[in-house]
Amino acid sequence: MTATDSAVREQLISALRDHDEDIADKWVRLQTEQEGLGAGIGEDELRVEADGLIAALLAGLESGLPAGRIVSSHPELRGTITELSLRRARAGGTPTATSLAVLSLKEVLLSIFQRTTRDAEELFQAALLINRLVDTAGVLSFDTYVASREEIISRQSRQLLEMSTPVVRLWRHVLAVPLIGTLDTARTQVVMESLLQAIQTHEAQVAIVDITGVAAVDTSVAQHLMQTVAAVRLMGADCVISGIRPPIAQTIAQLGVDLSEILTRATLADALAEAVKITGQPALPTGDAVRR
C-alpha cells in the first residue's frame, strides 16, 4: 500500500467515524427518494440497516485487510451485507434493487469525502477505494439474494416431491407408494427416503410401488425402480410393483430390463392381496363378501 493509499484510507476512516450519522441520513433519504431501492422497508428499519452497514464498513477498514479483501474476509462486514440482502429478499425486494441500494452508498460516501480534501489525486484515490469496497458489497448482496432464492426454490421443490409421493398404509404391515408422472433421480431419492422411513416406523413387511400413474417406462425409470426395490429389501421387507399395464410390459421386455426377480402385479388390488398373503394374515375379503 502506497503512502497516498494509506492516507486516503485513514481519511475515509475519519469520514465514516466523524460523519456516520450524516452518511446514514443521506443514504436512507437517497433510498426513499428513488422508487424500488427501499424494497418496501420502513424508514426506521432503513436507518438501522444504514447504521449497521456503516459501522461494519468502518470496522473492516480499520482491520488492516487489503481493500480487495475487506468485504469478503471481514466477518462483521460480510455478515452485515448478507443479512441486509436476506432481509430485503424476505421483504419482496428484487436482487437488482437490493444491489442498487447498496451501490447507492457510493454516491453518499464520495460526497462526504469531498468535505475532507480538495486535492484531485486524493479524491481520485478515494473514488477508487470506495468503488472497490461498495462494488464488491453490491455483488455480494446480489449473490446472497440469488443463493437464498435458489435454496427456497430447492426446498419447495423437495416439499412438492414429498407431497406428490405419499407413503400410504394400506394394511397391517403393508405400505404403498402410488407414483404419478415421471420418475427421475431426485424423485427416486425422495421415494426411497420416505418409504424406508415409513417401513421402519410402521414395521412394514411389504411395500407396494404402484406405477399405474407413470406415463412411460424407459431404461432410466426401470433402473430407478430396481434401486428402490433393492433398498426396500435391505430393510428386510418385500417389494411388489403394481400397475404393469400391457404397453409398459412390452416396453420393459423390449428394453431387455430383467425384472424376473421382482414380484409384479397388474393392479394395486392384486398387489395388496399378494402382500397380505406374504405377511401371513387372513386373506382379504372378496367383493361379494364385502357386500354381504
Cβ neighbors of 177 (< 8 A, separation 6 or more) are 165, 166, 167, 168, 191, 194, 195, 207, 208, 209, 210
Q: How many angstroms separate the CA atoms of 191 and 161, rounded?
A: 9
Distances (CA, A) of 44 to 23, 28, 49, 51, 263: 15, 9, 9, 11, 66
Q: How many angstroms separate the CA atoms of 166 and 192, rounded?
A: 11
Is pLDDT larger for residue 258 or for residue 142?
Answer: 142
Beta bridge partners of 239: 207
Distances (CA, A) of 217 to 99, 118, 178, 194, 246: 46, 75, 15, 22, 12
Between 1-5, 89-93, 216-220, the lowest mean confidence (pLDDT) is in 1-5
Judged against a pLDDT cut of 60, whether residue 291 lies above it is answered with no
3-class SS of residue 32: helix
Q: How many angstroms separate the CA atoms of 172 and 279, rounded?
A: 9
Which whole number is the average pLDDT over 226-249?
88
| Percent share of the chain, pLDDT over 90 | 17
Task: Give kind and range of the element (H or E) at residue 162.
Answer: helix 120-164
Judged against a pLDDT cut of 50, whether residue 288 lies above it is answered with no
One-letter amino acid at 35 equals E
Q: How many angstroms separate the CA atoms of 165 and 270, rounded?
A: 21
Which whole number is the average pLDDT over 213-224?
78
- Could you tell me the pLDDT band of residue 168, with boundaries at 50, 70 and 90? confident
One-letter amino acid at 106 equals K
| For the chain, domain boundaries | 3-155, 168-291
Supply 258's cell numbers.
Answer: 430383467
Cβ neighbors of 15 (< 8 A, separation 6 or more) are 23, 109, 112, 113, 115, 116
Any idea of the CA torsion for 54, 60, 62, 63, to the nearest 10 degrees? Answer: 160
Which whole number is the average pLDDT over 238-250?
86
Is pLDDT larger for residue 26 or for residue 37?
Answer: 26
User: Nearest to residue 203, comparing CAs of 239, 236, 166?
Assistant: 236
Which whole number is the average pLDDT over 181-189?
73
Between 34-48, 78-92, 116-130, the lowest mean confidence (pLDDT) is in 34-48
Is pLDDT larger for residue 189 or for residue 138?
Answer: 138
Burial of 2 (0-12, 13-18, 19+ CB in 10 A): exposed
Find out if CATH 1.10.490.130 is the number for domain 3-155: yes
Residue 174 is predicted with a pLDDT of 93
Between 104-108, 148-152, 219-223, the lowest mean confidence (pLDDT) is in 148-152
How does DSSP classify residue 117?
-
User: The domain 168-291 is classified under which CATH number: 3.40.50.300, 3.30.750.24, 3.20.20.80, 3.40.50.2300?
Assistant: 3.30.750.24
Judged against a pLDDT cut of 80, whether residue 28 lies above it is answered with yes
Residue 192 is predicted with a pLDDT of 84
Judged against a pLDDT cut of 50, whether residue 126 lies above it is answered with yes
- Could you tell me the pLDDT band of residue 76, with boundaries at 50, 70 and 90? very high
Which whole number is the average pLDDT over 12-32?
89
Judged against a pLDDT cut of 90, whether residue 225 lies above it is answered with no
Q: How much is the mean pLDDT over the chain?
A: 82
Residue 286 is predicted with a pLDDT of 53
